[in-house]
Structure 1
Amino acid sequence: MSLNTGLRLARVQPTLLSHGFTTAPAAILPLLFLGASSQYTPGLRMRRSSRFASSSTGKGLPRTTSRAASTSTVTQTKPEEPPQPHTASGSTTTTRADLNTLGQPAPSHEPSSPIPAATLLNPPASTRPPPLDLPTRDPSASLFRHLFSLGKAYTNFYKTGLKAVFTNRTLLRTTPSAATPPHLGNSADTYPSRAAILLRARVRHDLARLPVFGVVVLVCGEFTPLIVLLFPKLTPYTCRIPKQLDVIRKGAEDRRGASYRALAHVSREDGLHRTADGHICRVLGLTSRWWDRAGLDGPMSSVKAAKAVEWIVNDDRMIREGGGVEIVENGEVVLACEDRGIDVRGKEIGELRRKLESWISKTAPTSAQGDQADAEGTRHEAEDKVRRVLLRLEGDV
């Protein structure tokens, strides 16, 4: 290093002389080296000098030593960044973005938002059949190609439906237990939500039909859509094609209409109550239609009708207290009307929604809910109203 360079360095940084070379010889040597060299670019000089500044912090040297590289070249330094928070060990605190980058769950200190009412009323969409998009035949295409595309669409539909059965089973394990159905008048935190109850019921329904349906798919293969039309209730609900659902609904509505026509000949209300259980089972499809052809009520009609009425009362209450029919999804509105013996074939969703609202209004109990005795009376009143609506003593919904 020449003498002139050293003198220039002393003029630019006079504060170094006040500290003395003997106080920090290891910190002065890089400065001298940078001042003697002219082969570094400004960017490199900035990095070198900033490294020196960080290493000299705490030894009494100022942080302005980054200008000591040269007096002939003006180097602009970056603005000083604010100090980063440190943990007890001295390392920089990891931010939320860093945790996400590393694939680690970021800790959340924000208050959890309330669960939407629609989530508590509506079960997952996977409990309903997926959409079935059937290809339209191109006149220029061959029949074999059209049939192949048709079989592929049905295969994808059944594959999605079967996968949904196991998905719903997994979801059921993470929901509150719905083994004990709620009763009218219970506190809101003593029973599971409507979505959890419907999820459990549909999972049980689908799992019970899964073994037989699996055998049908393995044996019949591409002819499965024809077989399920002959036995429409054989498949899980998530695997029912639209035409299959239409066959089920048409049979239920024909049976329901015949029961109401037979009920019209019973003029006295006492006679209606004597035939109420059998009629309710026929309207809701709780017994086999073979008993109708024999002119008899199905076995255990009174027990089945009582359980169905109790379930409808609880479902009405959950819809009423959960925000009303306007929060229920369109697909669930159709299923709720079916559960209450309301015809849905050929009806618009707006009309079905109005019918369900009329049902909820007619079955609402008028007595206030108070202690256990009042709750029991409220439940009996609601059950009586549901029976009267099913018997059409309150008019059609």
Structure 2
Amino acid sequence: VNPPLSTLPAPLEVPERAPDQSLFSYLYKSGRAYLGFYKTGIKNIWTNHKLTRSVKASLRTKSPSNNSDKDASSTPQKIDLPYDGRVTRGEFQLLLRNRHDITRIPAFLLLFAIFGEWLPLIAIFFTAIVPNTCRIPSQIQKELEKAESRRHKAALERKTAMAVAAKSGVDTVPEKKRIEEGVEPALNQDPKALGQVPDPKSKTSLLYFSRHFSLHSPRWEGVSIAPPSFMLRRRLRQHLKYLAEDDALIRRDGSVRDLTDEEVAVACRQRGIDVLRRGKGELRKELDTWVK
């Protein structure tokens, strides 16, 4: 159920500054720690690449099996497993994460060559081109804060717009109908319901769900221009398909109880579930509710 630990960032241990330590000495040792962290991250990408080659080789010899969700009766529609059910959930995540990371190596190595030990000060502004294995804790924390703040803002704006529409009588019937049909069930804040959105038709709905799952850059909002509907719809459809496949693999290969704490947090983030300032048990319970 769990992919290799090498798909996640390695532990980063930055030495604390001693009372009598000079600033130069402290910065030098801190830079060495970050340098080691980035080297480990790049090595892990290569390790994962070799593992993916092994998985792909085995796919050529495996026959399709268990190509559907064993708990399909509990879901609105039958879910076909990725790769005809020939990979485990851990292998599925390994393939996806390594593909994400390996395409970012050229740009990241260029930044690394230019800034060296100073890269941590620069990388936070270029998160999109930093491989997952090379993202430092403060960088991950900042991205989480931005994503959750954006999600809460989108929900608040949506509720406000709904309230205004209800008072003015504008489009209240179609909006109510869409909610009742399950096309836009987000107002009840049920994470499982969010995963069952078939295909929102309105631009407002697409924008809301895209912001909820962080599927488009917040820079669009900074320039007050909405991304094209076809792009939002395609990304939302792809993301919901991925979540359905991942849920099915978790059910087939075990359960949420079998996931590590780190994997639970990653899975929650992908499903638009807040993780900051929440306990591990609470996150595991909420993810279990979603997956079931």
> TM-score band, normalised by the shorter chain?
0.7 to 0.9
Tell me, yes or no, if the aligned pair for 1:129 and 1:161 is still in contact at 8 Å: yes
Q: Does 1:286 align with 2:215?
A: yes
User: Which of 273, 276, 280 is equivalent to 1:342?
Assistant: 273
Give distance in 2, aligned partners of 1:175 and 1:231: 31
Give distance in 1, aligned partners of 2:18 and 2:80: 59
Judging by fraction of residues, say which structure has more helix.
2
- The answer for the alignment partner of 2:3 in structure 1 is 123
Deviations, residues 111-148 of structure 1 (Å, cap 9, x unaligned): xxxxxxxxxx1110000000000101110222222222
Q: Which structure 2 residues correspond to residues 69-108 of structure 1 after superposition, within 5 A?
A: none
Give distance in 1, aligned partners of 2:95 and 2:274: 25
For normalisation by structure 1, the TM-score amounts to 0.56
Tell me, yes or no, if the aligned pair for 2:32 and 2:117 is still in contact at 8 Å: no
Give distance in 2, aligned partners of 1:187 and 1:297: 31
Q: Does 1:152 align with 2:152?
A: no
For normalisation by structure 2, the TM-score amounts to 0.75
Give distance in 2, aligned partners of 1:343 and 1:156: 31
- The answer for the alignment partner of 1:251 in structure 2 is 146
Report the structure number with the largest CA radius of gyration: 1
Partner amino acid, structure 2, of 1:270: R
1:215 is displaced (CA, Å) by 0.6
**Counterpart secondary structure, 1:175:** helix
Q: Which structure 2 residues correspond to residues 12-27 of structure 1 after superposition, within 5 A?
A: none
- The answer for the alignment partner of 1:236 in structure 2 is 131
Deviations, residues 181-217 of structure 1 (Å, cap 9, x unaligned): x664558974321111111111111111110110111
Percent identical pairs in the alignment equals 34
1:269 is displaced (CA, Å) by 4.4
Give distance in 2, aligned partners of 1:187 and 1:244: 33
Tell me, yes or no, if the aligned pair for 2:81 and 2:249 is still in contact at 8 Å: no
- The answer for the alignment partner of 1:171 in structure 2 is 51
Deviations, residues 259-283 of structure 1 (Å, cap 9, x unaligned): 1112213362427443433222111
Aligned pair count reads 240
Does the C-alpha gap of structure 1 residues 133 and 354 become closer, same or farther in structure 2, counting only changes over 3 Å? same
Give distance in 2, aligned partners of 1:150 and 1:302: 44
- Could you tell me which runs of 5 or more consecutive residues in structure 2 were left unpaired when the two chains were aligned: 69-77, 163-174, 185-199
Tell me, yes or no, if the aligned pair for 2:7 and 2:48 is still in contact at 8 Å: yes
Does the C-alpha gap of structure 1 residues 160 and 286 become closer, same or farther in structure 2, counting only changes over 3 Å? same
Tell me, yes or no, if the aligned pair for 1:281 and 1:287 is still in contact at 8 Å: yes
**Counterpart secondary structure, 1:174:** helix
**Counterpart secondary structure, 2:239:** helix
Larger relative contact order, structure 1 or 2 (CA cutoff 8 Å, min sep 6): 2
Tell me, yes or no, if the aligned pair for 2:31 and 2:118 is still in contact at 8 Å: no
- The answer for the alignment partner of 1:268 in structure 2 is 176
Does the C-alpha gap of structure 1 residues 175 and 355 become closer, same or farther in structure 2, counting only changes over 3 Å? same
Partner amino acid, structure 2, of 1:312: L
